[in-house]
Amino acid sequence: MDFSATAERISQKVVSRGHAVEKTAIETKLRRLVEEFGVPLGEAERTVTNELAREFSIQGLQTGGPGEAKTLDALAPGEWVTVEGKVVALTAPPSPSISQTGIVADTTAAVRFVIWSRANAPVLREGNWYRFESAVVDQYKGSVNLKVHSGTTITEVPAGGTIKPVITPIADLCPGIASVRGKMIQEWEATHDRILQSGLIADETGSARFVTWKEEGRERLNPGTVYTIFYATVDEFNGRLSLTLNTATVVPEEGDIEVNRGDTSFEGVFVHLAPGSGLIKRCPVEGCNRVLSRQNYCPVHEIQPTFQYDLRIKGWLDNGVETREVLVQRAETEGLVGMTLEQAREIAENTPLGMDEIFLRFRDALLGRYFSCRGREMDGRLLVSGCTPLRFQPERLADLLNRAGGSA
Amino acid sequence: MTNGAAAFPATRREGSFEREPARRVFAGELRESRVHFKEGQDEKSPSFVLLPTGARCNRVFFVGTLTEKKRQGEQNLFYRARVVDPTGTFFVMAGSYQPEAMQQMARLDPPSFVAVVGKPTVYQTPDGAVLISVRCESITPVDKETRDQWVLDCAAATLDRLEKAASTPDGERARKEYGMDPAIFRKMAYEALAQLRL
């Protein structure tokens, strides 16, 4: 193995501090550590550098990893690196064995970092620049991560330039850290107790789901508002990307943007109306909104006598070749069945069948009829944003007569 | 941290199934169907009727005129009904395994336009005749416009099937099993459409 380059690097550092050092002596020490004791070269370099630093009482000589500081866009899993960057976000550590997590950014990119409790690292502050020497790059859930362990040295450094986060088009997102500019177009029912908010955010290129976990100081987004979101964490679940906003700085913007909702449309006949259509009761607990059972039982919040009513259609739309599950929310439902929520509530409260009566009326109004639904496909289900009944088209009759008669 | 959220789509995906589409087929074509088969050994794997135009069919959707309904049986109550389209008659049944359909049926009075979703089944009578009836999943009253829409829809679907039959395994099989002239069904579609013009 060739130790001269490493020895050269160490000796230059020492010489630059005004001390004389024998390069061959350094090389011998390195060789001994590596060949005799099986120390990795990077670690051997550290050891020798430290030793010389002590010998000559030089402060701040240590450079852990081999070579100069890398830029964050050049990290590859498995590397030991030295990087400099600004801590742009700190997040609550998910486990006691982790002392800090957050995002560090330089002018080229941003990555997540994890500081293990055992690393004895200084407490980092958001907004400050640091140099991470001998940190390890690894991969976690498909994205690159910077791990700070006990061999890593963190020193605060002066700001290294202005960081302008690059805005990524939503269609181009990949796991890691990204900044996006988009409009919140949908808010979803929370599927988990710890979710503050989840929904969809879209820009001109596409849309992605987002989630904000409950945490001190986190706020909900407002539907219809455009936001610039700096340093969100992008994860991948089941092949779909999701933005976690807990790491992000979210800035509301003026004005509006054109969004690509990824809408599809589907024409067909309602062939089945699923239970859970019609008048339903929802859990009134803030952020829950789950559908209650007949006995007003919420799977999370138990009996909720002060439920809220809602109207919806859950059913299957079928074009004869393909059949799709569709979910229609109240606003569209009211128009389709010709009944407002208030009317439905009155009917349900004044007929012996109660809420079943509404289901039956929905069934009679929808089943066997032709509709065109427009919306976004999610988990094989069409979340309908617009739905209109189809009418008989005489021009289609003429076309079909030609087609059927053409070669008869 | 995000494991909780991940669990939901995963479990839902596992439990999902493919719902069989409801084929649009004229009574005149369904009446000619004889071949029924099941793909897969599973108890729950769907069974199909092979249509003479060359498509497998587990479920049908049609709109027509309810001309007759009869309540039958004592212990095992069921309804038998006839629904007529421009090409012939569908025999519709709703038994105690289809309680919703039975109740819907109970509220209907012939003659009226109805939309039916159901599963076709092939029967052989003791004297060897083959009958095909539709086990009703739902039967709802509709208006004439919906009936007319269905005739267009069904004619288009029939023509589509005829066009595709040349290049599909089911089309091949139908040609072998039935050996029927595609022109019959083209004419059937034409005549059904022609009635709308009146």
- The pair of structure tokens assigned to A346 is 């009155």
CATH T-level topology, domain B19-197 = OB fold (Dihydrolipoamide Acetyltransferase, E2P) (2.40.50)
Least confident of A35-39, A59-63, A190-194, B91-95: A59-63
Structure confidence by residue, pLDDT tens digits, B138-148? 999 999 999 99
Question: Does some domain include residue A134?
Answer: yes
Query: How many beta-carbon pairs below 8 A join chains A and B?
Result: 126
Residues in Cβ contact with A243 at an 8 Å cutoff, skipping those fewer than 6 apart? A173, A178, A180, A201, A208, A209, A210, A211, A229, A232, A233, A234
In this predicted structure, the answer to whether residue A28 has a pLDDT above a threshold of 60 is yes
Residue in chain A closest to B62 (alpha carbons) equals: A368
As a whole number, mean pLDDT of residues B3-13 equals 34
Question: Does some domain include residue A303?
Answer: yes
Domain extent, residue A188, equals 170-252
Question: Does some domain include residue A63?
Answer: no
Q: Is A278 left (phi over 0), alpha (psi -120 to 50) or beta?
A: left
Least confident of A39-43, A241-245, B75-79: A39-43
Question: Does some domain include residue A62?
Answer: no
Question: Helix axis angle, A4-16 relative to A23-31, nearest 10°?
Answer: 130
Residue B14: pLDDT band with limits 50, 70, 90: very low
Question: Does some domain include residue A183?
Answer: yes
Instruction: Find the CB nearest A380 among B5, B6, B16.
Output: B16
Rounded to the nearest angstrom, the minimum Cα separation between B14 and chain A is: 11
Report CB contact under 8 Å: B153, A322.
Answer: no
CATH of the domain at A326: 2.40.50.140
- Distance between CA A35 and CA A39 in Å, rounded? 8
Residues in Cβ contact with A28 at an 8 Å cutoff, skipping those fewer than 6 apart? none
Query: Are the beta carbons of A88 and A126 closer than 8 angstroms?
Result: yes
Say which DSSP state B136 is in: E
Query: Are the beta carbons of A116 and A147 closer than 8 angstroms?
Result: yes
Query: Are the beta carbons of A173 and A234 closer than 8 angstroms?
Result: yes
Identify the domain boundary among A252, A286, A313.
A252
- Distance between CA A100 and CA A80 in Å, rounded? 19
In this predicted structure, the answer to whether residue B46 has a pLDDT above a threshold of 90 is no
Residues A269 and A382 in one domain: yes
Number of domains in chain A: 4
Residues A267 and A385 in one domain: yes
Overall size of chain A counted in residues: 408
Structure confidence by residue, pLDDT tens digits, A273-296? 999 999 999 999 877 888 998 889
Structure confidence by residue, pLDDT tens digits, A4-19? 878 888 887 788 778 8
Residues A289 and A246 in one domain: no
Instruction: Find the CB nearest B5 among A211, A316, A369.
Output: A211
Is the Cβ of B189 closer than 8 Å to some Cβ of chain A? yes
Question: Does some domain include residue A404?
Answer: no
Residues A373 and A281 in one domain: yes
Residue A267: pLDDT band with limits 50, 70, 90: very high
Question: Does some domain include residue A338?
Answer: yes
Identify the domain boundary among A132, A157, A182.
A157
In this predicted structure, the answer to whether residue A239 has a pLDDT above a threshold of 70 is no
Residues A248 and A267 in one domain: no
Q: For chain B, what is the mean pLDDT?
A: 87
Question: Does some domain include residue A315?
Answer: yes
Structure confidence by residue, pLDDT tens digits, A213-234? 988 888 899 988 999 999 999 9
Residues A314 and A275 in one domain: yes
Range list of H helices, A104-210: none
In this predicted structure, the answer to whether residue A262 has a pLDDT above a threshold of 60 is yes
In this predicted structure, the answer to whether residue B111 has a pLDDT above a threshold of 80 is yes
As a whole number, mean pLDDT of residues A315-330 equals 94
- How far is CA B105 from its chain centroid? 17
SS3 A215: coil
ipTM of the shown complex = 0.88
Residues A50 and A81 in one domain: no
- Distance between CA A64 and CA B42 in Å, rounded? 62
